[in-house]
């Protein structure tokens, strides 16, 4: 027997030597960023049971943990746990002490024997967590790596409630309990929280029991029977009101500071409908036992998708000041809700694959807006998403990114915004049925487990029957986007439109399906689709018996690209008149207003656009109108006066009032401003009062 062990050790040493060589030869990219492999699974988490109580003065957590793990495949005699800045008091198995080494980051436990993959084993750890002592490399990250945060712990700040909450992503929950703090681990959990009786607690799963203790404290017992990743573990403690809501049999609760309780539904009220909507489009019914959301103080991010216990920054309270029908936080609420399918149910196996969580959550918001508020609104939000991507650097980052300096670097507009646009392309290229069926397949195949980007590709391929390597290679494994220069002429002799599409970006060059709408003078159109090959310039000859009134490339703005299409003012005016998509109308208005010859016909078009069906474009037209031009002012004024008083959207009324208040003869509109100052709408009131004070 001994011989075998020596052979095993020798093989292990050779193996370690070889892997060390491998790492040494492929560890950085051209920019010196390190290669980040998917964390190796030696032991797998199975179950985490915690008993915690808190020292508010020292900002420390006293913890007992029973951690059940299982060897992944090979037999093990050691367990390595992430445990940041803790004091480790005792480590035992079945009541017997175990040897361990601890360097403030990793707790290496020598097991009492070799365990193989058929057997679970449970380790007991008695420890003190000291989040204030957690030091992470990089000054920026310190603020975000404490894992557990004591807010106004001594209660001395009269303007701030005392709270404790946690933030696990990326790998910070190991600052309050020892774990294998990697996204490719999953564990069920039980947490006993002992707190002063005046506090309420929140954690993942269901509250099973509350026991009052003799010393003025209470112990709450939370249990989560479904496995999820350690970074999604959450506890929140403080004086909160709990406002109850429901979706089917699923409890949906909102935890807010007590004085905000009357506004809970105003902030979170659409949550049940979101659970319903996302359950329908994924064809996977919301898989968790409840859905709670808590607004905490001094949060380190916007919001976090902790499974069944979402945390929100206090920015969510700003909704209270908003008009009925608006909710600036609703996109965030939808984002975190959709994470319960993409992120919590199926988790990106490594931070390199983060976009599998974030692109879907971001795109979920788009789908929610489209369903709830219509295409124009959703597209106007997509425009913001695109602007967010184009305005930031980082085009040279791959969407799936194996080389990076810090994990936090991946939480950028590439993983979120660009990732969402790439899903939109897949959605539109493959069609509704394929896209949503592939979503379902991906979720079913990897539920309560992890995935990498290629598993999403394979789900799409299996459903559609198409090969999608060409798409994934350039959009998921590569970086950048096309910059297109599109020119077209009409050859009367052959009756063909000659369409030249050049890619002017340095690299890489893309291939993609593309389409144009070709318009006749009467506004009727034909849609043509073709394939742009991977080369600097593609020329297409499209049969069309008469000279087209307009050739409109990529009418629905599906391709993620910068497009220069060399349209004239006449083209833009025609486009606004006949093309129906949000982007077509938006771009037409933008270019008409920017055109040097925009007076005359351009202004006439902007006046027409004051009656656009979408309120966002009515505001844009108001904004772009040149009222210094006498002719324009004369024609537009009656419409603006009507908008200021009767537009169905308060925001449009307010902008119309502002526009009127900028005119030299603003005194003529005093009656309208006075009427507006008594409006039940806050924005109309504010604009009117400002207009009144300006016209004195
Ligand atoms: Zn997210």
Find the 533 Cα to ligand 1 centroid distance in Å.
34
User: Residue 307 Cα, ligand 1 centroid: separation in angstroms?
Assistant: 12
- Cα of 521 vs centre of ligand 1, distance in Å, is 46
pLDDT score of 11:
46
333's CB contacts (< 8 A; 6+ apart) are 267, 268, 270, 271, 274, 293, 303, 312
What is the structure's pLDDT at 8? Answer: 45
The residue with tokens 């060399």 is: 566
Q: Which of 36, 22, 126, 123 is nearest to 76 (CA)?
A: 123
**Of all helices (H) and strands (E), which one includes residue 149?**
strand 148-151
Q: Angle at the Cα of 380 (from 374 to 384), degrees rounded to 5? A: 140
Cα 169 to middle of ligand 1, angstroms: 10
Q: What is the pLDDT of residue 26?
A: 59
- CA 368 – ligand 1 centroid, Å: 15
C-alpha to C-alpha distance for 588 and 456, rounded to whole angstroms = 36
**What pLDDT does residue 123 have?**
98
Ranges of CATH 2.60.40.1730 domains, the chain: 39-239
Nearest residue to 226 (alpha-carbon basis) of 190, 202, 198: 190
Q: How far is the CA of 510 from the centre of ligand 1 (A)?
A: 28
Distances (CA, A) of 201 to 138, 165, 198, 206, 250: 32, 10, 10, 11, 19
Residue 598 confidence (pLDDT) = 56
What's the CA-to-centroid distance between 164 and ligand 1, angstroms? 22
Place of tokens 């060409």: 470
CA of 336 to the centre of ligand 1 (A): 6
CA of 636 to the centre of ligand 1 (A): 44
Q: Are 193 and 235 in contact (CB under 8 A)?
A: yes
First to last CA, the chain: 99
Strand order in the sheet with 217-228: 96-97, 86-93, 121-129, 60-71, 43-55, 187-196, 217-228, 206-212
d(CA 310, CA 467): 37
In contact, 151 and 296? CB cutoff 8 Å: yes
User: According to the model, what pLDDT value does residue 355 have?
Assistant: 98
Whole-angstrom Cα distance, residue 556 to residue 584?
8
How far is the centre of ligand 1, averaged over its atoms, from the C-alpha of 297 (Å)?
19
Whether 326 contacts 276, CB under 8 Å: no
In order of 158, 174, 320, 694, the CA distances from 687 in angstroms are: 35, 50, 19, 11
Q: What are the residue ranges in the chain where pLDDT is below 50?
A: 1-25, 137-142
d(Cα 544, Cα 521) in Å, to the nearest integer?
Answer: 13
Distance (angstroms) between ligand 1 centre and the Cα of 243 equals 24
SS (H, E, C) 340-395: CCECCCEEECCHHHCHHHHHHHHHHHHHHHHHHHCHHHHHHHHHHHHHHHHHCCCC
- The tally of CA atoms less than 13 A away on the side-chain side of residue 451 is 26
Tokens of 408: 């936090």
Q: What is the 669 CA–ligand 1 centroid distance (Å)?
A: 47
Answer yes or no: are the C-beta atoms of 486 and 564 closer than 8 Å: yes
**Quick check: 222 and 207 in contact, CB under 8 A?**
yes
The burial of 401, by beta-carbon neighbours within 10 Å (0-12 exposed, 13-18 middle, 19 or more buried), is given as buried
Q: How far is the CA of 335 from the centre of ligand 1 (A)?
A: 6
CA of 267 to the centre of ligand 1 (A): 19
What separation in Å is there between the alpha carbon of 360 and the centre of ligand 1? 8
Ligand 1 centroid, distance to 354 Cα (angstroms): 9
Q: What are phi and psi of 648, to 5 degrees?
A: -65, -20
Distance 32 CA to ligand 1 centre (A): 28
d(CA 410, CA 166): 21
3-class state of residue 433 by DSSP? helix
Distance between Cα 363 and ligand 1 center (Å): 10
CA 332–ligand 1 middle distance (angstroms): 8
In CATH terms, the superfamily for domain 481-566 is Aminopeptidase N, middle-beta domain (2.60.40.1840)
Q: Residues within 5 Å of ion ligand 1 by Cβ?
A: 358, 361
* Centre of ligand 1 from the C-alpha of residue 201, in Å: 24
C-alpha 617 to ligand 1 mean position (Å): 29
Question: Is the alpha carbon torsion for 278, 280, 283, 287 positive or negative?
Answer: positive
**How close is the Cα of 330 to the center of ligand 1, in Å?**
14
d(CA 338, ligand 1 centre) in Å: 9
- Cα of 334 from ligand 1 centre, angstroms: 10
Q: How far is the CA of 538 from the centre of ligand 1 (A)?
A: 38
H, E, C per residue of 260-290: HHHHHHHHHCCHHHHHHHHHHHHCCCCCCCC
Looking at the chain, the domain(s) classified CATH 1.10.390.10 span: 346-475
CA of 339 to the centre of ligand 1 (A): 7
Distance from the CA of 614 to the center of ligand 1, in angstroms? 29
pLDDT per residue as tens digits for the range 391-418: 987 678 999 999 999 998 899 999 999 9
- H helix intervals, 26-156: 139-142
Report the separation in Å between the CA atom of 44 and the middle of ligand 1, taken as the mean of its atom positions. Answer: 25
Whether the CB-CB separation of 98 and 134 falls below 8 Å is answered with no
The predicted pLDDT at position 115 comes to: 98
Q: Given this model, what pLDDT does residue 593 score?
A: 85
- The per-residue b/e assignment along 288-317, b for 16 or more CB within 10 angstroms, e otherwise, is bbbbbbbbbbebbeebbbbbbbbbbbeebb
Distance CA(565)–CA(546), nearest Å, equals: 20
Dihedral of the alpha carbons of 81, 87, 89, 94, in degrees to the nearest 10: -20
CATH architecture type of domain 39-239: Sandwich (2.60)
Give the pLDDT confidence score for residue 141 in this predicted structure.
Answer: 39
Query: Ligand 1 centroid vs 161 CA: distance in angstroms?
Result: 27
Q: pTM here?
A: 0.94
Cα(589) to ligand 1 centroid in Å equals 33
Dihedrals phi, psi of 487, to nearest 5 degrees: -125, 145
Q: Helix, strand or coil for residue 296?
A: coil
Whether the upstream peptide bond of residue 197 has omega within 30° of 0, thus cis, is no
Give me ligand 1 centre to Cα 304, in Å: 7
SS3 state at 543: strand
CATH class of the region 346-475: mainly alpha
């Amino acid at each position: 027997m001994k011989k075998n062990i020596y052979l095993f050790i020798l093989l292990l040493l050779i193996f370690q030597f070889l892997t060390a060589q491998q790492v040494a030869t492929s560890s950085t990219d051209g920019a010196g960023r390190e290669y980040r492999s998917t964390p190796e699974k030696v032991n797998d988490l199975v179950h985490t049971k915690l008993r915690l109580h808190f020292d508010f003065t020292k900002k420390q957590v006293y913890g007992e943990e029973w951690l059940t793990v299982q060897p992944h495949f090979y037999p093990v005699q050691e367990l390595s746990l992430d445990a940041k800045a803790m004091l480790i008091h005792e480590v035992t198995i079945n009541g017997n002490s175990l040897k361990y080494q601890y360097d403030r980051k990793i707790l290496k436990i020598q097991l009492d024997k070799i365990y193989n993959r058929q057997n679970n084993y449970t380790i007991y750890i008695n420890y003190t967590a000291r989040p204030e002592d957690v030091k992470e490399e990089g000054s920026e990250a310190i603020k975000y790596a404490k894992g557990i945060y004591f807010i106004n712990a001594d209660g001395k700040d009269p303007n701030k409630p005392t709270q404790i909450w946690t933030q696990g992503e990326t790998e910070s929950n190991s600052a309050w309990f020892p774990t294998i703090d990697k996204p490719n681990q999953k564990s069920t959990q039980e947490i006993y929280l002992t707190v002063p009786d005046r506090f309420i607690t929140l954690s993942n799963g269901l509250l099973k029991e509350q026991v009052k203790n003799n010393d003025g404290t209470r112990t709450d017992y939370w249990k989560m029977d479904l496995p999820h990743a350690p970074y999604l573990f959450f506890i929140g403690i403080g004086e909160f009101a709990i406002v109850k809501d429901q979706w089917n049999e699923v409890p949906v609760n909102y935890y807010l500071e007590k004085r905000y309780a009357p506004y809970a539904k105003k902030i979170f009220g659409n949550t049940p409908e979101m659970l319903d909507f996302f359950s329908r489009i994924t064809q996977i019914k919301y898989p968790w036992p409840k859905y709670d959301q808590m607004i905490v103080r001094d949060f380190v991010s916007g919001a976090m998708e902790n499974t069944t216990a979402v945390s929100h920054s206090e920015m969510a309270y700003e909704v209270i000041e908003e008009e009925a029908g608006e909710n600036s936080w609703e996109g965030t609420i939808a984002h975190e809700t959709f994470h319960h399918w993409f992120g919590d149910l199926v988790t990106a196996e490594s931070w390199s694959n983060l976009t599998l969580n974030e692109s879907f959550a971001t795109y979920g918001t788009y789908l929610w807006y489209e369903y709830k508020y219509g295409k124009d609104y959703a597209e106007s939000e997509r425009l913001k998403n695109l602007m967010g991507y184009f305005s930031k650097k980082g085009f040279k980052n791959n969407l799936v990114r194996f080389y990076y300096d810090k994990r936090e670097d991946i939480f950028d507009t590439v993983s979120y915004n660009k990732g969402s646009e790439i899903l939109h392309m897949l959605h539109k290229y493959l069609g509704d049925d394929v896209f949503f069926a592939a979503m379902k397949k991906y979720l079913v195949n990897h539920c309560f487990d992890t995935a990498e980007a290629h598993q999403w590709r394979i789900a799409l391929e299996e459903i559609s029957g198409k090969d999608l390597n060409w798409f994934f290679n350039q959009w998921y494994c590569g970086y950048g986007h096309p910059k297109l220069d599109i020119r077209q002429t009409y050859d009367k002799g052959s009756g063909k439109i000659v369409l030249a599409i050049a890619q002017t970006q340095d690299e890489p060059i893309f291939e993609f399906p593309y389409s144009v709408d070709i318009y006749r003078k009467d506004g009727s159109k034909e849609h043509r689709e073709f394939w742009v090959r991977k080369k600097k310039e593609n020329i297409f000859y499209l049969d069309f018996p008469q000279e087209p009134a307009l050739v409109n490339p990529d009418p629905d703005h599906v391709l993620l690209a910068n497009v220069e299409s060399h349209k004239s003012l006449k083209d833009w005016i025609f486009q606004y008149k006949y093309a129906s998509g949000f982007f077509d109308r938006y771009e037409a208005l933008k270019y008409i207003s920017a055109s040097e010859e925009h007076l005359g016909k351009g202004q006439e078009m902007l006046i027409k656009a004051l009656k656009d069906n979408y309120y966002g474009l009515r505001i844009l037209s108001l904004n772009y109108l040149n009222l210094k031009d006498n002719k324009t002012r004369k024609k537009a004024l009656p419409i603006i006066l009507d908008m200021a008083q009767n537009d169905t959207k308060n925001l449009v009324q307010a902008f119309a009032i502002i526009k009127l208040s900028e005119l030299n003869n603003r005194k003529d509109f005093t009656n309208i401003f006075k009427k507006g100052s008594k409006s039940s709408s806050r924005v109309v009131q504010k604009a009117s009062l400002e207009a009144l004070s300006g016209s004195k």
